[in-house]
Amino acid sequence: MATRSKPYTYREPQSEFASNTKRIAAKVAIYGLLLLWTFIALFPIYWTITTSFKVAVDVTQGHLIPWVDYTPDWRGWRSIGLSPDTIFNTSTVREEFMKRFLNSAIMAIGASLLAVVLGSLAAYGLVRFDYKFAIWRNRDISFFFLSQLILPPVVLAMPFLVLYKELALLDTRIGLIVVYTLMVLPIVIWIMRDQFRGIPVELEQAALVDGCSTWGAFLRIVLPISLPGMVAAFILSVVLCWNEYFFAALLTSTNANTLPVMVASQTGSQGINWWSMAALSTAAIAPLAIVGIFLERYIVKGLTAGAVK
């Protein structure tokens, strides 16, 4: 049976010029948005760095561009003893800054290492073994760890104060390391859980057949493969611990104070020393910026591992 063919409709082909124009317009829009977001993200850092080279008049008048709106001055860095003309002189403020810097480094690195060790073991157990506590299963336990991030830190202020007073842990480095470990542990567990999920269990089974124990398979097979994720979790933990202010201000007074507490102390009854605060902030974020620049590929590789299977 013959069928009637549909009438042919002529469509004018799209010109190559119009196609290229749309493609270029799309790229311009994307790169324009990326540049706008980059400016928004980097402007606070730019403002902080430039403010450390301003005097009071330049700060109050909102001058932004050095050598155009104002002449840079070392006043902010001189106030903390880190300017070229004071770096080799005795400075009480610089000694206090170095003490706070050392405290922040010890507690951030120590807490991050402890969190990565404990979090990796917990994440490996949640991925490779099945647990049952009453009605709780592995998924419920994992969500419990994540739910700890929802709890406001101020809720824990009184319990920690009472507990640390009884244990004589107030104003100690070990006390703050314990708090920081508990703070970043849920994040480490979730990052490492995704890492271990992306590792085929057949690799461990083959190691067990070859004579390795469970710990041997973990240390020789799983650990080297998941190392990028551990590095990413460690760096993220260091950043979070380095910038933490609430518990550092609550549980310390003189011996274990950190850099964020010192930065916040620049406010007083006579106003805010913007140049000193900016200089301290710049010196505090410089190590994190250097770490982020040199270890960026490890961070990206660790955080995206297991996302594509």
Q: Is 267 left (phi over 0), alpha (psi -120 to 50) or beta?
A: beta
**Token pair listed for 50:** 């430039």
Q: Which tens digit of pLDDT belongs to each residue from 125-155? A: 888 888 887 778 888 888 888 888 888 888 8
Tokens at residue 285, please?
Answer: 């974020």
Q: Are 274 and 59 in contact (CB under 8 A)?
A: yes
Backbone angles phi, psi at 93, to 5 degrees: -65, -40
- Where does the pLDDT of residue 116 fall: very low under 50, low under 70, confident under 90, or very high at 90 and above? very high
Q: Which of 100, 107, 120, 97 is nearest to 238 (CA)?
A: 107
Tens digit of each residue's pLDDT (9 = 90 or more) over 73-110:
888 898 888 888 888 888 888 899 999 999 999 999 99
- Highest mean predicted confidence (pLDDT) among 13-27, 72-86, 104-118: 104-118
What one-letter code names the amino acid at 278?
Answer: A
Output the pLDDT for position 290.
86
Cα separation, 229 vs 52, in Å, equals: 36
Contact 194, 157 (CB under 8 A): no
Q: 120: closest CA among 217, 214, 223, 215?
A: 223
Q: If DSSP codes are grouped into helix, strand and coil, which group holds residue 124?
A: helix
Q: Can you give 55-89 as a three-state secondary structure string?
A: CHHHHHCCCCCECCCECCCCHHHHHCCCCCCCCCC
CA nearest neighbour of 212 among 30, 203, 258, 65? 203
Give the distance from CA 156 to its chain's centroid: 22
Helix axes 274-294, 296-304, angle to 10 degrees: 70
Instruction: Please tell me which residue, 11 or 45, carries the higher pLDDT value.
Output: 45
Q: For residue range 238-273, what is the model confidence (pLDDT) as tens digits?
A: 999 999 999 999 999 888 899 999 888 877 666 778
**What pLDDT is stored for residue 67 in this prediction?**
87
pLDDT tens for 189-220 read: 988 988 888 888 888 888 888 888 888 888 88
| Dihedral sign of CA atoms 82, 88, 90, 95 in order | positive
